[in-house]
Amino acid sequence: MFTRIARHFLVQGSFLTFLGLISFLLLCSQVIAQPIIVEKGTISVDTTWSGEVLIKADVEVAKGATLTVMPGTVVKFEKIEPFGPGKLYEDKTHQFPRAELIIRGKIIAKGTKDKLITFTSADPSPKPADWGAINLLDTEGNIIDYCDLSYAHTAIHAHSGKVTVTNSYIHDSGVAVGQKNVKEFPTKAEIIVHNNLISTNGGGLLFGKGGILIASNNNLINNELFGIYCKKGGASSVIKFNNITKNGKGVMFFATEKFQIHNNNINDNTEYNMTMLEGQEADVDARNNWWGTTDEKKIKELIRDKDEEAELGTVIFTDYAKASIAEACLTK
């Protein structure tokens, strides 16, 4: 079509008109390519983002409003002064130092396999903690699906929030996913994390203060400090069919009771495959996992519990799997 238009103008001798058309088309393409600039403030009505979005400071989605992020959208956060003028709140208890997307209403970020949604730093030389978090405060019904999240303090954090995180790649952040309950918020923290690649973060999944984590079929690999950290985690949590390998520590426990973790591959972590921290007095039922070996002595060498410190509970690892669990880790 473009060739036909060009021929028409050239045949008619209207070359200057043709050049004008070219300039107009180039101008249109530049306008279309301009990113959406989002300044510090609150989104109070239903809003849709697409293309490229640049967040310049804290942005809050208010109660009753839904932020919809379209497939292929790239959301970038400017690196602002920690707890500086770009922050909406002075409270440091439920906020992160740098620019964050605060969700009190709802976020629906559903990409596709071919068109991931990206949340990342706008810095040309990005580093972990360049931006804060997708920070869910007393909210439910949130969806993060087919997204690529990187260079955050904590990529996704639920302060008494509920969210489903699926089919995503979370990397190069301080912590990939975190959660805790907040007394003044009526919603109870619950995160469903399924079929994600969680790699090269400081830590993978961190949950506590009674929060519930449903984690299945995730690949938690090469996280510097831990794959999963259960810090006063809720007893109704389920951790199954995950591949937890090559992290600093595989799974850590602190002050958690009635917790079960089954049918995972927990092996080849640098320091311990499973460790109890001071204050973990309750036993942990960790049967039916694959530890990388069937040699019980070698399994025990990479578990820290009562045998290493008398005040700790015991990791029960009997009935261990005899081979790697094939159903674990569906991520590609």
Q: What is the pLDDT along the chain (332 residues), one digit of tens a residue?
A: 434 434 443 344 454 454 455 555 555 544 556 899 999 999 999 999 999 999 999 999 999 999 999 999 999 999 999 999 999 998 888 999 999 999 999 999 999 999 999 999 999 999 999 999 999 999 999 999 999 999 999 999 999 999 999 999 999 999 999 999 999 999 999 999 999 999 999 999 999 888 899 999 999 999 999 999 999 877 789 999 999 999 999 999 999 888 889 999 999 999 999 999 999 999 999 999 999 999 999 999 999 999 999 999 999 999 999 999 998 876 55
Residue 41: count of CB within 10 angstroms of its CB:
12
Please check whether residue 261 lies inside any domain of the structure: yes
Q: What is the DSSP string of 199-222?
A: ESSSEEEEEETT-EEEEES-EEES
226 and 111, same domain (yes or no) = yes
CB 171 within 8 A of CB 187: no
162 and 25, same domain (yes or no) = no
Instruction: Give the pLDDT score at 33.
Output: 67
Tell me which residue has tokens 């403030």. Answer: 41
157 and 63, same domain (yes or no) = yes
Instruction: Give the pLDDT score at 10.
Output: 39
Instruction: Give the pLDDT score at 236.
Output: 83
Residue (of 153, 170, 193, 176) closest to 58 by Cα position? 153
100 and 232, same domain (yes or no) = yes
Instruction: Give the pLDDT score at 233.
Output: 75
15 and 89, same domain (yes or no) = no
Instruction: Give the pLDDT score at 28.
Output: 53
155 and 11, same domain (yes or no) = no
235 and 189, same domain (yes or no) = yes
Please check whether residue 322 lies inside any domain of the structure: no
* Residues 169, 247: Cα–Cα separation, whole Å: 16
171 and 245, same domain (yes or no) = yes
46 and 19, same domain (yes or no) = no
Please check whether residue 324 lies inside any domain of the structure: no
The residue range of the domain holding 4 is 1-34
Please check whether residue 112 lies inside any domain of the structure: yes
- For the chain, what is the domain count? 2
Please check whether residue 328 lies inside any domain of the structure: no
Instruction: Give the pLDDT score at 13.
Output: 47
93 and 9, same domain (yes or no) = no
Please check whether residue 331 lies inside any domain of the structure: no
Predicted structure pTM score: 0.88
Instruction: Give the pLDDT score at 3.
Output: 43
Please check whether residue 225 lies inside any domain of the structure: yes
96 and 117, same domain (yes or no) = yes
* Residues 205, 231: Cα–Cα separation, whole Å: 10
Instruction: Give the pLDDT score at 6.
Output: 41
Residue 88 half-sphere exposure toward CB, CA atoms < 13 A: 22
Please check whether residue 321 lies inside any domain of the structure: no
Residue (of 77, 66, 79) closest to 109 by Cα position? 66
- Rounded to the nearest 10 degrees, the angle between the axes of helix 2-11 and helix 15-33 is 150
125 and 14, same domain (yes or no) = no
Which residues face 226 on adjacent strands?
203, 249
CB 143 within 8 A of CB 164: yes
Angle, CA 213 vertex, CA 212 and CA 216 arms, to 5°? 150
